[in-house]
Structure 1
Amino acid sequence: MWQPYHFSPEGINRIRRDSPTVADAEKDLADYDTEIVRLETTISALKHKRTHLERYLANCRSLLSPIRRLPLEILTLVFLYLCREPIKEFGISDFDIALPAFDLSQVCAIWREVALNTPAIWSNVLFDLKKRFCFQQKINLSHSLIRLCLERSSQVPLNLTLSPDFDMDTDSDRYATFHEVLRPTSHRWRSLTISPHTDNIASLWSQITDLSSLESLEVAVETLELLSGSSSILCQASHLHSLHLSSFYDLIDSTDPPRPFPWAQISTLSFSWLPSDIYLPILCECPNLTNLFLWHPCGSDSEDRTDLITLDRLNHWEFNFYWIETLNSDIFSMLTAPALKHLTIAMSRLFARAPIDCTKSETRWPLDIFSKFAARSRFSLTTLCIDSPIAESDFLSLLRLFPDLTELDITEPYSYHKVITDNFLNGLHPTRLTGDSFEDRSTTPCIPRLLHLSLYVHAGSPFRPETLIEMVKSRWIPDPLYSSQVGIACLRSIKVIGDKRATEEPLTYKPLMELEKVGLRVEIL
């Protein structure tokens, strides 16, 4: 074996005398190179095996992941939930159509099998009859997808959105496609949305002969007038119970409800952008109404009505408005609802950001109108949801109109006028802790039957967490006998959403968490 030498004169002479030493060194160097190559080859092979093992392990982990163990029945319910909403329009970019059912069917073989064996997720159909010269390929593609959806949906009820064109005639290819593809499926239509309004819809509607499965209809009032005038087929839709009416064109010729139409069987009714002289007569025709949704009602130039409207079965009412002045509309003055249990009053988010001072007379809530409405109806309201600016004293006065409330949801408006304040929370305290300057001077407990309270707040909420905690503690009365004696129900749940102080200072709501340990349901999100 070659040994290193010091390069002294004697060492150099020794190398010259012992010449085989150079040959040994060269041989050893070659052996090292060979060993390096062998080891590198071994390392490369081991890296390849490691990569292969990593892929195998990843596949095993994928096969063992919780989603793989999910029963197919549960996966089917998830698919149904994701595809529950009717399709209003195709989100198309470069002819890439995103539809939930198609997306789900392309994840893996198992998901595809589940999707193909779940006809209901293919039941949402949009038929676009608009003529768009630059998007003819898009129209052809959407029609192909419609045929595929109809095929895969088997015989389940369909949710159809129909978008007619203003200049469509009976000779057009689009009309022929509707006639050949969709008209034969009319007996499967569960919900139908027709938008926008066009006079040409009457020519399509006259071809419909069977609406035996129709449950929900969404149209403009002008369109409904045309449909009712061109055919009486809607009167034969025995399952129709939900109707959404709107108007954006101001083309309504008459304030009388469209006829013929099965108004008496409507149980869920929605109005959007309609004046009171249109929707009030319609309400008179719906004695079996249980759910009412009034969105952005408009003013009316006609003379005020004097006759009351009684909806004996109305149980759920949502009122959404743009301006606080709308609360003075005819609906609260004219309506009587003795069976009302759930009421939601909300201001549009677009206008809720505007600076509103609810202490001024022109922007204060018309409590006299609400008081007369409650006295006239004599209902036992159990759920109230408020999403609107309102003065704290007015709010407490409003709550006193509904002593049977068990559930209260309050959403703090974005405007600078805050609803959830220390004075308001003290007003909910059974022992009245408001200051002398506070307007609400009532000595009776506010909403004594309250069980569930939800507060949706924003940054900069003026109330102190200690005030909220003290109020909750005052209503936590787990002893049924004592609760009955003092006349205050035991609060069962408190939810606070959006208070950043809960994350910035984790101990802020610790006393509430302590109550959670003894039975109070607490959610701080």
Structure 2
Amino acid sequence: MAEENRPVLENGTQFGTAQTHPPQFNVDVAPGTRHYTLLNTNEPPEESELVFIQSVISEANARLTSLNYEISKLQPTLKWSEEERASVLSYRTRNEAILSPLRRIPPEVLADIFWWTLPSLNDEWARGTFDVAHSPWVLTWISARWRAVSVSTPSLWSQVAIDYNRDPSSEYSMSRIAVQIQRAQNLKIHFYGATAVDSVPQIQMFELLSEHSSCWEELSLRLTSSLVPLLPALHGRIQSLKRLWVEWDGPESQTAVQSIDCFDSAYSLLDFGGYNQYRFIPFALPTHQLTRYYLDGPWEEHKRNLKLSLGLVEARIVTRFNDELWPHTNEIIDLPYLRRLYVSNVKILDYLTAPVLEGLTFGVKQDIPSDIFLESFLDRSACFLRRLCVRGFTDATTATKILQRLSPSLTELIITALVDHTEAVNRIMSALTVSQVSETTVVAPQLRCLSFGCEDSRSMDYSVYLEMLKSRWRAKNRALTTAALVTEGPGPDPVTLHDIDALRLEGLDILVAEGQEAQVEMNRWFYGPTWNF
């Protein structure tokens, strides 16, 4: 430090130079003396010793007074030193930052790291409101380099998620969305309108997004009656659209709508899903190019679409709004590339053949013999199912018969309860339990994955479930490696969770989920679209 910059004390001495100090106050007491004994024991002093002790205290008081005075004179110097210390610490930290490995990360690697900070769509919905304190917006505030990398990385800005039911306060600023669109290259739009919210800002926002519809790759759309008239303007301008999901916000949103025709010009469309719920609305689509298809509607509409969709790999067929009786099976639709299929009614299988099918999910109807329709379909298709998901419950005898028919190709079994089916669940779990007496007659011994789901915890007796799981896991020639227990209602009790943790420690990979997480998992089981969750 330069001499002229040092502070000067009151006596004229510069801070940091050699100074003379009075002799240090001696606080040492020789061992073996009477004073040492009094200091180190609880022995009371004699009358003749009080004068000496008081004199020692007086000397200490005088020295403390002197020290306090010296310290008070040093306060300005100490404050200056503390300020310089903070400045030097900051200076050192800034210089150390120059050596940070983060500075040497290539921009493309940094951009990839940024991508992993993006919230999932489910996280955005859970948050409920738009917040610029989350990625990617927050990345632009850290440093000039981070801002430059984030702004020049289009994939960080492609997802636009707007739900007016969740955030009716209209946090979705037109200017902010415009900036996001400008930074993005391709757009993944999740736009959910709400009838109960002012339609004007919704219309304005959708029109803004529609101006850039040529950049849309994904569109998940909840329609209201005020948004439907905006759809024709999309015709011929959505050539890049690959994924499409359409649903409706209440029955009034479908009023006077006869069909949706704007998407037939989506020449890149591969994945389509529609949830009509209130009334069937037909969609004009480039059906021949679809690889994934999810729709609820009358069977005749499904039949028309399926006959043109020979390239389907995955289909979710929900029959609703059927005004006519099921037609005679005089025409079989061949789906040569179909690998995953969900049918809400097992009767649908009577009209299909799928030679390479690997996964099948079907809904059980009490008055329909599931095993008969399934047997006929399997014989006709000659496929080897590896995964079976039964939604609802058939009797244990029929379930056992189906599993025996699918052996030995079946490796994954999923069973879900729609309502309170405790007794039916118990019977099926008992049928799947491995008996120590007859391990050679195990039902579906090749199962590697076994999952159960229910809409509420009352649909399952957890003691029976654990007995089944333990028996298959600890069987002599076990195949089981993975299990799942998901409940949309409250999850298992603490005792059940303790036993599940014990199985985890033994090596069983088991998922336990409830609530929203369970809904997402079951949607995956039923081959519902997962990209817009």
Q: Does 1:523 align with 2:527?
A: no
Q: Which residue of 2 aligns with 1:309?
A: 333
- Output the amino acid matched with 1:423: A
Query: Measured at CA, do residues 149 and 327 of structure 1 come closer, stay the same or move farther in structure 2, by a change above 3 Å?
Result: same
Distance 1:65 1:399 in 2: 60
Work out the CA distance in 2 between the residues paired with 1:35 and 1:370. 97
Give structure 1 stretches of 5+ with no counterpart. Answer: 16-20, 320-325, 348-360, 435-442, 476-490, 517-521
Counterparts of residues 124-523 of structure 1 (less than 5 Å): 124-126=159-161, 135=169, 138=170, 141-153=172-184, 156-162=185-191, 179=207, 181-198=208-225, 201-206=228-233, 208-220=235-247, 226-228=259-261, 234-250=263-279, 252=281, 258-259=283-284, 261-272=285-296, 274-294=297-317, 297-298=319-320, 300-307=322-329, 308-319=332-343, 327-328=345-346, 330-345=347-362, 362=366, 366-386=370-390, 388-410=392-414, 413=417, 415-417=421-423, 418=425, 421-426=429-434, 433=439, 447=444, 450=446, 452-455=448-451, 460-462=462-464, 463-464=466-467, 467-471=471-475, 473-475=476-478, 491=479, 494-497=481-484, 504=498, 509=503, 513=506, 522-523=508-509
Deviation for aligned residue 1:213: 0.9
- Report the alpha carbon displacement of residue 339 of structure 1 after superposing the two structures with TM: 2.0
- CA displacement at 1:128 relative to structure 2: 7.5
Larger Rg: 2
Alignment of 1:49-68 (within 5 A): none
Q: Is the 8 A contact 1:309 1:335 kept in 2?
A: yes
Structure 2 Cα separation of the partners of residues 30 and 215 of structure 1:
89
Root mean square deviation, CA, Å: 5.6
Contact in 2 for aligned 1:188/1:213 (Cα 8 Å): yes
Whole-Å separation in 1 of the counterparts to 2:321 and 2:430: 36
The farther-off stretch of 234-243 and 417-426 is 417-426
Q: Is the 8 A contact 1:126 1:146 kept in 2?
A: no
SS at match of 1:282: helix
Identity of aligned residues (%): 19
Asked if the contact 1:422–1:467 (Cα under 8 Å) also holds between the matched residues in 2, the reply is no
Alignment partners' CA distance in 2, 1:262 and 1:345: 27
1 CA distance for matches of 2:156 and 2:136?
A: 6
Q: Distance in 2 between matches of 1:77 and 1:395?
A: 48
Q: State the shift of 1:103 in Å.
A: 5.1
Shift of 1:122: 1.0
Cα 1:62–1:382 shift into 2, 3 Å: farther
1:30 aligns with 2:36: no
> How much does 1:160 deviate?
1.9
Give the secondary structure class of the aligned counterpart of 2:385.
Answer: coil
The 5 A counterparts of 1:33-112 are 33-35=65-67, 73=109, 76=112, 79=115, 82-83=118-119, 85=121, 100-102=135-137
Task: Determine if contact 1:453/1:494 at 8 Å carries over to the other structure.
Answer: yes
| Matched letter for residue 477 of structure 2 | S
Q: C-alpha distance in 1, partners of 2:498/2:127? A: 40
TM-score (ref. length: structure 2): 0.62
Question: Which SS does the other structure have where 1:401 is aligned?
Answer: helix
Compute the displacement of 1:300 (Å).
2.0
Q: CA deviation at 1:216?
A: 1.4
Secondary structure, aligned partner of 1:271: strand
Query: What is the rounded CA distance, in whole Å, between the counterparts of 1:266 and 1:145 in structure 2?
Result: 34
User: When the two structures are aligned, how many residues end up with a matched partner?
Assistant: 439
